């Protein structure tokens, strides 16, 4: 296949006029499903013309795919997030804190979330639904900190 000089000039002019630029960005080495936690063998750097994508593999390691990530397509900020600490219907420790008082019981998570997210939990003792924040340990904290 040969390209004529006119086509090359036209293509170059289009690239410069649109501001398109090629840079090393992070792309999956295979399709990743929502909930997959990204490890080193899941991603690589590739030269792609796209803005807003991650440029360093270390920026996505340990994060969770929020949507399907296809092989070879750049990973953008909204595509990944912190891994979930609590899954829907998971039995969790529900902790009520007020000053120095701590009360713990079991609850069933009614949602899924990462540390810092708020989630509804069914208190298995009282059958009441409460809302709390997910801790790094995967407990749900309600009441005052």
Residue 138 belongs to some domain of the structure: yes
Give the residue from 61, 65, 25, 55 showing the smallest Cα distance to 41.
61
What's the domain range around 69? 21-81
CATH number at residue 68: 3.90.1210.10
Residue 2 lies in a domain: no
- Whether 75 and 101 share a structural domain: no
pTM listed for this prediction: 0.68
| Residue 28 within any structural domain of the chain | yes
Averaged over successive runs of 10 residues, the pLDDT of the chain (145 residues) comes to 57 53 89 97 90 92 97 95 96 94 96 96 97 96 79
Q: Quick check: is 135 in a domain?
A: yes
The reply to whether 90 and 76 lie within a common domain is no
| Closest of 91, 72, 78 to residue 29, by C-alpha | 72
**Is 11 a domain residue?**
no
């Amino acid at each position: 296949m040969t390209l004529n000089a006119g086509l090359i000039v036209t293509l170059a002019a289009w690239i410069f006029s649109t501001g398109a630029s090629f840079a090393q960005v992070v792309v999956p080495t295979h399709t990743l499903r929502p909930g997959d936690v990204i490890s080193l063998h899941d991603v690589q750097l590739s030269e792609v013309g796209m803005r807003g994508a991650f440029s360093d593999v270390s920026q996505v390691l340990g994060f969770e795919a929020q949507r399907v990530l296809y092989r070879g397509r750049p990973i953008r900020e909204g595509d990944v997030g912190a891994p979930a600490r609590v899954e829907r219907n998971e039995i969790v420790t529900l902790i009520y804190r007020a000053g120095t008082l701590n009360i713990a019981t079991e609850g069933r998570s009614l949602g899924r979330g990462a540390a810092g997210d708020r989630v509804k939990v069914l208190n298995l003792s009282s059958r009441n639904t409460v809302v709390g924040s997910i801790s790094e340990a995967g407990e749900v904290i309600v009441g005052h900190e």
